[in-house]
Amino acid sequence: MPPSRLRYRRIHDGGILFDERTWNTHVLNPAAAAIYEALLEHSQGKPVPSSETFELVLDELGLNPDTREIRELLPVLKRLGVVL
């Protein structure tokens, strides 16, 4: 479950993440949406530590956490309280 201020909606292969506190909207491409959804499923409503996030991205999703896109996504997820 995301922090209560976040609203997420899947749109086709990607998604939209809206922060009610800041009114910022984040458009998630398919890979970012998959990562966000996997973190939500894994987290049981709590922020996920960075080390677990990297393991999830690499082991469960088979994505390279060192790509530019993922390196740019993780700080956003940290600011939103999804990742510690």
Q: What own/partner pairs with CB < 8 Å and gap ≥ 24 does 75-79 have?
A: 76/26, 77/35, 77/36, 77/39, 77/53, 78/50
pLDDT in tens, 7-25: 999 999 999 999 998 999 9
**Which residue has better confidence, 14 or 3?**
14
Q: Return the domain boundaries, the chain.
A: 6-79
How far apart are alpha carbons 26 and 80 in whole angstroms? Answer: 11
pLDDT of residue 31: 87
Q: What length does the chain have?
A: 84
pLDDT of residue 14: 94
How far apart are alpha carbons 72 and 30 in whole angstroms? Answer: 14
pLDDT band with cut points at 50, 70 and 90 for residue 26 = very high
pTM tops 0.95? no
